[in-house]
Amino acid sequence: MRQGLGRPVAMNCRVLRAHPSRVLRYEWRLGNRLLHAGHFDQSDETEYTVKSLNREGWGEYTCDVINEAGAGRCTFLVTGKAYPPEFYYDTYSPLWQNRPTVYGFKLQWTQMNPNAVDRIVAYRLGIRQTGLQRWWEQEIPVDGTITKGELITHNLTELIKPAAYEVRLTPITRFGEGDSTIRIITYSAPVNPHLREFHCSFEEEPICMFTQDKNDDFDWTRHSAATRDTKYTPNTGPSDDRSGSKQGFYMYIETSRPRKEGEVARLVSPFFNVVPKNPYGIANPPAYCFGFFFHMYGKHIGTLNAFLRQKGQAVAEGPAWSLSGNQGDRWKQAKVSIHPTTSFQVVLEGIRGPGIEGDIAIDDVTLEEGECRDLPPINLRSSAPPTSAHIWPLSVTLAMTFLWGRR
């Protein structure tokens, strides 16, 4: 329970059931100090109120309900600490300064429940280069009251290329320091001055901030051929990652039992931000090329779909790309041009086929500015209706660049 100085705090402890049924007494304590004790009459609950919270009132409150068999306990942790700040990832052009040897990063965050405790008067910013021990700290003063959802910005300067940095942000109130939040800042140079791209090969555990859809039937699994377990089904799935390495990782859907035909697993990218070149609107915007490698080997292969999901869009469009059926024991590449009009995500959906030999894998997901060039040929050994490379055009348009979105 979080509360500011001078505010009341009410705590309630209720008996759910007891045996013997006669409850004798209750005791309220702060730490080891007895605050209040009494007997139950007709009521099955007791309440303790701190009328005006002060510094001595923060701590662990306990309510013991005691009968002949012993005591049951409720515990309340009362604190004046501010909630942790929440970093904002959907920032257009966070590299606001890009010099030959150093760069600057625009750090943005919102404050979680700023009115729950005393007014935040400052933030303590800590920063250190990853791999080093020493933190550099400074205070960022706050003028006025922070409102819920308000976006706060601070520029980090003189960061050394291409080093990554660990950033720690701590709110400060009259009580003192609140709970901290930590994030990693990385420098990612564009391939050339006119192209920005996203590439994910799933080699690291965070999987490039991809997430599992909470409304599907099961999850994609991160795996490598070198770490196969006993669930491995022969005659389906890849024997190495897209680069041919048995140590390399990829994502796949495991179609062994208890999976059933038609069940769906969706992997959702982080948000990519779209900003028009023209501040007055989108005119002749560039496209983006969404690409990935896929492996669809097995006699029970179902369907692999790729979707564009736009922010604020209630109903999803049809798939931007789709393929079904056995495509042979090899990795192939897919590319499709997409044209979003607002912040967007890409979604890879695997649908389980009629049997256990139906594992579908993906690797090396990319997103590049511009229309797709040199579209790879697709072997149409598929149960889906044959169309030109199984690509459905999208009737949406977009603007200029993208960045990792908010979690």
Give the 3-state secondary structure of 330-387.
CCEEEEEEECCCCCEEEEEEEECCCCCCCCEEEEEEEEEECCCCCCCCCCCCCCCCCC
pLDDT in tens, 184-227: 888 765 433 333 567 888 877 778 888 999 999 999 999 987 55
Q: Is 80 exceeded by the pLDDT of residue 286?
A: no
pLDDT of residue 279: 45
pLDDT at 98: 60
pLDDT tens digits, one per residue of 50-62: 998 888 888 999 9
> Would the pLDDT of 391 be above 50?
no
Which residues lie across from 152 on neighbouring strands?
109
Q: Write down the architecture of domain 85-185 according to CATH.
A: Sandwich (2.60)
Same fold, 9-78 and 197-390: no
Return the biggest CA–CA distance within the chain: 82
Q: What is the pLDDT of residue 5?
A: 83
User: Which helix H or strand E contains 109, and what residues bound it?
Assistant: strand 102-111
Q: pLDDT tens, 352-374? A: 999 999 999 999 999 888 888 87
The DSSP bridge pattern shows strands 211-212 and 264-268 to be antiparallel
The confidence score (pLDDT) of residue 77 equals 92
| Average pLDDT score over residue span 36-48 | 85
- At residue 26, the pLDDT reads 92
* C-alpha to C-alpha distance for 250 and 245, rounded to whole angstroms: 10
Percent of the chain with pLDDT over 70: 80
Give the confidence band of 74 by pLDDT, cuts at 50, 70, 90: very high
| Alpha carbon distance 146, 299 (integer Å) | 59
How far apart are the C-alpha atoms of 364 and 201, rounded to whole Å? 4
Protein fold of 197-390: Jelly Rolls (2.60.120)
Domain ranges of the chain: 9-78, 85-185, 197-390
DSSP 238-249: -SS-TTS-SS-E
Asked if the model's pLDDT at residue 116 lies above 50, the reply is yes
Q: How confident is the model at residue 376, as a pLDDT?
A: 67
| Tens digit of each residue's pLDDT (9 = 90 or more) over 225-250 | 755 554 567 888 898 888 888 888 89
Give yes or no for a contact between 334 and 390, defined as CB atoms under 8 angstroms apart: no
Let me know: does 155 contact 105? Beta carbons within 8 Å.
yes
CATH 2.60.40.10 for domain 9-78, yes or no, is yes
pLDDT for residue 390: 38
Average pLDDT over residues 262-278: 79
The answer to which of 82-86, 97-101, 122-126, 400-404 has the lowest mean pLDDT is 400-404
Confidence grade of residue 383 (pLDDT, cut at 50, 70, 90): very low
DSSP state of 146: P
State residue 229's pLDDT score. Answer: 56
Considering the chain, what is the average pLDDT of its residues?
Answer: 81
- pLDDT by residue (tens digit) across 338-355? 988 888 889 999 999 999
Q: Is the pLDDT of residue 307 over 70?
A: yes
Q: What is the pLDDT of residue 84?
A: 94
Query: Which residue, among 168, 160, 115, 112, has the nearest Cα to 140 in the 3D structure?
Result: 168
- pLDDT per residue as tens digits for the range 2-38: 988 888 999 999 887 766 666 788 999 999 999 999 9
pLDDT band at 181 (very low <50, low <70, confident <90, very high): very high
**With 50 as the cut, is the pLDDT of residue 309 above it?**
yes
Provide, rounded to the nearest whole percent, the portion of the chain with pLDDT above 90: 43
pLDDT of residue 394: 34
**pLDDT recorded at residue 195:** 38
